[in-house]
Amino acid sequence: MSAAKDAPPPLPEPLGVAVADSHTHLDMQDGTVEQALEKAAAVGVTTVIQVGCDVKGSRWAAETAEAYAPVHAAVALHPNEAPRIVHGDPDGWSRQGARGPGGEGALDEALAEIERLAALPWVKGVGETGLDYYRTGPEGKAAQERSFRAHIEIAKRQGKALVIHDREAHADVLRILREEGAPERTVFHCYSGDAEMAELCAESGYFMSFAGNVTFKNAQPLRDALKVAPLELVLVETDAPFLTPAPYRGRPNAPYLIPVTVRAMAAVKGIGEDALAAAIADNTARAFDY
Ligand SMILES: [Zn+2]
Ligand SMILES: [Zn+2]
């Protein structure tokens, strides 16, 4: 790839109404937190939810939320991390590298630390948790499910939003939420279901957070889902550095690119950009209770 193709995309036109990026990973992006927040604020992205994927990343998310007013934290063991902990091989998104003792005891220990962090006032969410059948094979399924159920309990005990990562596991995620009883506020991050599932989520009052992939050419089922999702349950996110919206696919993503996705979503919804942004701002504050 040429240098230009790796370069950060230009700043989009600012939004008329400020919104939140409901799911980002600043710790995996280039530049400082200050730089990311400054660029985001310049285009009307004035709040970000920083999501931890392992113990180290969750500690960092909590510390960053404590230090920066525009940042709120979500803390968890990612569904692909939980099996690694049980199998004694956590490498983690923050690349801890250390081989742990493994076993369910190791998972319980990590979960106890997540719960301690979840109790902090600037931590507004428990997640991302859930199921990922794309990256984790059958051997990791039991650990993943055990971790997911534990995170649901933590979210309920601590009164925080539950942030769901669901990759190719829609039916099982919905079933486990039903079995455990979902927390009052549940967010499907990087929503990836179809229109039929969006109706099920709407019936249960689950928030659906759309990422840059809603702009992809082959994502018509996702746009059909967005069409039927009630306006009061729709959020937007970058999941940066991943899922850079079109036309910048393949280049580094960051919270300042939220306006690109909001504009594409407004077109799908057939409403004005400001009306959608106002709804998203309100919904995100309700979902994460800030
Ligand atoms: Zn995810
Ligand atoms: Zn994520």
Measured in Å, residue 99 CA sits from the centre of ligand 2 at 23
Tokens of residue 181, six digits: 């009883």
How many angstroms is it from 1 CA to the middle of ligand 2? 25
What mean pLDDT is predicted for residues 218-246? 98
C-alpha of residue 63 to centroid of ligand 1, in Å: 21
Give 255 Cα–ligand 1 centroid separation in angstroms.
15
CA of 284 relative to ligand 2 center, distance in Å: 16
Ligand 2 mean position, distance from CA 93 (Å): 10
Give residue-wise pLDDT tens across range 150-163: 999 999 999 999 99
- Give the Cα separation of 19 and 257 in Å (integer): 12
Supply the pLDDT for residue 3: 55
pLDDT of residue 95: 47
> How far, CA to CA in Å, does 31 sit from each of 8, 75, 150, 156?
11, 22, 34, 35
Q: Output the CA 268–ligand 1 centroid distance in Å.
A: 23
Q: How far is the CA of 135 from the centre of ligand 2 (A)?
A: 14
Contact 244, 252 (CB under 8 A): yes
Per-residue pLDDT band at 101 (split at 50, 70, 90): confident
- The pTM score is 0.95
For residue range 35-44, what is the model confidence (pLDDT) as tens digits?
999 999 999 9
CA of 53 to the centre of ligand 2 (A): 8
Residues with CB under 5 A from ligand 1 (ion): 128, 165
Distance 190 CA to ligand 2 centre (A): 8
What does the pLDDT read at residue 88? Answer: 85
pLDDT tens, 18-32? 999 999 999 999 999
CB of 207 within 8 A of CB of 233? yes
pLDDT tens for 104-126 read 899 999 999 999 999 999 999 99
Which tens digit of pLDDT belongs to each residue from 36-83? 999 999 999 999 999 999 999 999 999 999 999 999 999 999 999 999
Per residue in 175-224, pLDDT tens? 999 999 999 999 999 999 999 999 999 999 999 999 999 999 999 999 99
Give the closest ligand to the alpha carbon of residue 134.
1
Q: Is residue 281 scored above 80 in pLDDT?
A: yes
Q: Phi/psi zone of residue 102: left (φ > 0), alpha (ψ -120 to 50 degrees), beta?
A: left
Q: Is there a contact between 50 and 73 (Cβ–Cβ < 8 Å)?
A: yes
The Cα 39–Cα 152 span in angstroms is 34
- SS3 of 83-141: the string is HHHHCCCCCCCCCCCCCCCCHHHHHHHHHHHHHHHHCCCCEEEEEEEEEECCCCCHHHH
Measured in angstroms, how far is the CA atom of residue 10 from the centroid of ligand 2?
Answer: 23
